[in-house]
Structure 1
C-alpha cells in the first residue's frame, strides 16, 4: 500500500473539518490536573534566550535579528522630543528558530496534511488550514522524562530513543499519562550544544516507533531539548522526518522543539503545571514560545 492509499486512523477522530488535532483532548480536567501538581508556586521558564545572531537553529533558517528603532542616541543628537523619551525596537525571527511550537500545517506527505487537508491550503500568504492561530493557550499537566543522565540512553548524540526506553522512562516517573498531558523529553543535546560538544547536524531523539504509544497515552504535544524531537538526521535517508509525519500529519499531535529543560530537570520534579501560549500568527506554520513550568 502506498502512502497515498493509506488513510491514517486518527483522521476524522474529531470531525472531518478539524484543524486542532490532539489539542481537542484539552479541557478543564487537563488544566485542573496540572494545577493539582503545584506545590511550591515556583515558575521555571523553558525557553532559550533570544539573542541577535545567536542561538540553536536548524539549517535553512535565519538567526534572529534585533533592531533598535529609537534609542538614547537619537535624543543626544537632538532628533526627537525634549524631556520625555522612550526606546523602541523590533525583531525579525524564524518562527521555527530557538524554542518554538510547530503548527499542524508545518508538514505533509503525499500532498495531505493533518486530517486529510490538502497542502494547497499552505500558500505564500500563509496556511489557510491547520495554522498556528488555531492552537490557542495550552494549560495542562506536563510530564518530564530525563534520558540524558550519565549512562542514560541519550547521554550522547546520534541515538534513537526506542519505544522500550521511552516507556521505561515514563514508568520510572511514577506518573500515569492521561488524555491532555504534554510529554517533555530531555535528550541532553541543548546542554551539549552550549558546551560546544554538539552541532545542528546530529542529535539524539525519539525513534518513529514511539508515535503510536504516545498517541495511545493521550498526549497532545511532545517537546524536547533538541532540533526536531525525533532523532536527526533520520536513520532512513529516504524518509526525512518520519516522526513529524507520524505525529503531526497522521495523529494531530504537536511538536515543541529546542525547549530548555536543564533547570526543570535539576528540580527532580517529573510532573508540573505547564503553560504554553503561541503567538496568534494568522496563517503561521509555527510560533516562538516561552513555555513555563509551575512546580
Structure 2
C-alpha cells in the first residue's frame, strides 16, 4: 500500500523515488563535492561547532539540557583514573572511560527530516494525518513513547525507523557551501530577514547560490552565546541577531527555486521561533521548518559556530568553501550534534 497519493503543493515528495529518505541531500553529487574541493585554496580549516555544553542552562529551550559526563564503572570501581593494578598487581595502566547523557539538539546540530512533520491529507480522504517528508507516518515509521515505555517515558521505544539521522551520516554530507554574512550588514539587532533584504545582501557581497550548494547564514548569534560564557541572558537570547522571516512567501519560494541542498544558520532556529502570527486560519508554527523539512526535504542546521570562518571569508572577499559535516551515525535519532569543518 502506498503511503500517499497526494503530496503537498510544491513539495519534492517522490522526486527521488517513493522510498527516498535523503531529500535535497540527493543534490550532493560527486560533481558538487568536486566543486567544493575546487574552493580549497589555502588548506586552512575552521571548526563550525560550539562547545557542546553551550548555550548553557535551558533558557533557550526548557526541554533541552546540557550534556552530563560521567564515568563508566563496575563493582571494581569507577573507570576514571582507575589503577588497573587493583585487578592485577602486575598492571601499570591508569584508565579513564566515560559516557554522556546528551540532548541531541542542545547545541550545534542537524535537524533530520523526522524532526518536524505536519498534518496532511495524504490520500484525499478529507482527513489529515500526522506525516513527515515523503509521507512517512507518525506512529509506524517514526515511533514515539508507548504506554509501557518505562519511567523515562521513552527509552528505546522512541525511534525513527525512517528518516533517522543515520541516513545523513551514510550519505555522507560533503560539498560546496556558500555563506551569507547577515551580521556584516545588519549587526546583531533582532532583524526579520525577508526575501528582498536577503537578495540585497547577497547582491552587495556578490554571493551566488547554485543548485546543490549548502547555504549558511552568519548572524552573530552563536558568537554572542560564546561571549555569554554559558550563562545566556534570558532577556536577550530570544531577541537577538537576524532570523529568516518564515511568513514571507517570496522567501519560501526562493528556497524552493534555489535548489539548495541544506540550510544552516548560527542562530537558534534559522527562522524566528515562533514565527510571526499569520492571522486567522491554519498555519505552521515554524513555516521554514515546515517548508524545508516536511515539503522539500531540506535538512536544517542550527547554532553552528561561524564567527572565525565569516571573518576570514569577509577579509578575503570570498563566500564559498568546502563543507564536511557528517552527523553522528546513530540509528533512529531525529537530530544530532554537528561537528562540521569548513576548508578554504
TM-score normalized by structure 2?
0.77
Contact 1:202 1:233 in 2 (8 A): no
Cα distance in 1 between the residues matched to 2:23 and 2:205: 27
Matched, 1:90 2:99: yes
Q: CA deviation at 1:80?
A: 4.6
Change (3 A) 1:155 1:52: closer
Separation in structure 2 between the aligned mates of residue 11 and residue 48 of structure 1, nearest angstrom: 33
Aligned partner of 1:50 in structure 2 is: 52
For 1:135, what is the secondary structure of its paired residue? helix
Counterpart position of 1:146:
181
Q: Please give the alpha-carbon distance, in whole angstroms, between the structure 1 residues aligned to 2:338 and 2:236.
A: 22
* 2:225 pairs with one of 172, 176, 193: 193
Q: For the Cα contact (< 8 Å) 2:110–2:327, is it kept in 1?
A: yes
CA root-mean-square deviation: 2.3
Matched, 1:114 2:123: no
| CA offset digits 1:111-141 (Å, max 9, x no partner) | 1211222222211331112111111321111
Q: Which residue of 2 aligns with 1:100?
A: 109
Q: Deviations over 1:84-106 (max 9, x none)?
A: 22211111111111111011011
Q: Deviations over 1:5-40 (max 9, x none)?
A: 872322222222211111111111100010001110
For residue 264 of structure 2, the aligned residue among 218, 223, 226 is: 223
Alpha-carbon contact 2:210-2:260 (below 8 Å) kept = yes
| Residues in 1 aligned to 2:108 and 2:322: alpha-carbon distance in whole angstroms | 18
Specify whether residues 288 and 55 from structure 1 end up closer, same or farther in structure 2 by C-alpha distance, changes over 3 A only.
farther
Q: Is the 8 A contact 2:164 2:331 kept in 1?
A: yes
Q: Measure, in 2, the Cα distance between the counterparts of 1:21 and 1:6.
A: 14
Give the Å deviation of 1:155.
2.3
Superposed, 1:33-48 pairs within 5 Å as: 33-48=35-50
Mapped to 1, the partners of 2:66 and 2:202 lie a distance apart of: 34
> Contact 2:54–2:225 (CA<8 Å) still a contact in 1?
no
Rounded Cα–Cα distance in structure 1 between residues aligned with 2:30 and 2:237? 38
Give the number of aligned pairs. Answer: 286
Matched with 1:134 is 167
CA contact (8 A) 1:53 1:65 kept: no
SS of equivalent to 1:98: coil
Give the aligned partner of residue 123 of structure 2: none
Counterpart for residue 179 of structure 1: 211
Note the C-alpha offset of 1:288: 0.8
Secondary structure of 1:287's counterpart equals: strand
- Residue 271 of structure 1 is aligned with which of 320, 324, 333? 320
* Inter-CA distance 264–245: structure 2 relative to 1 (3 Å threshold): same
Cα deviation for residue 192 of structure 1 reads: 2.5
Give the stretch that moved more between structures: 137-146 or 171-180: 171-180
Bigger Rg, which one:
2
Shift of residue 173 of structure 1?
Answer: 3.6
**Residues 151-195 of structure 1, C-alpha deviations (whole Å, 9 max, x = no match):** x335212x2111112222233343432221110001122223333
Q: 1:123 aligns with which of 139, 143, 146?
A: 143
* Structure 2 residue ranges without an equivalent (≥5): 1-5, 73-78, 120-129, 145-156
Instruction: Confirm or deny that 1:262 pairs with 2:307.
Output: yes
Helix, strand or coil: the match of 2:110? Answer: strand
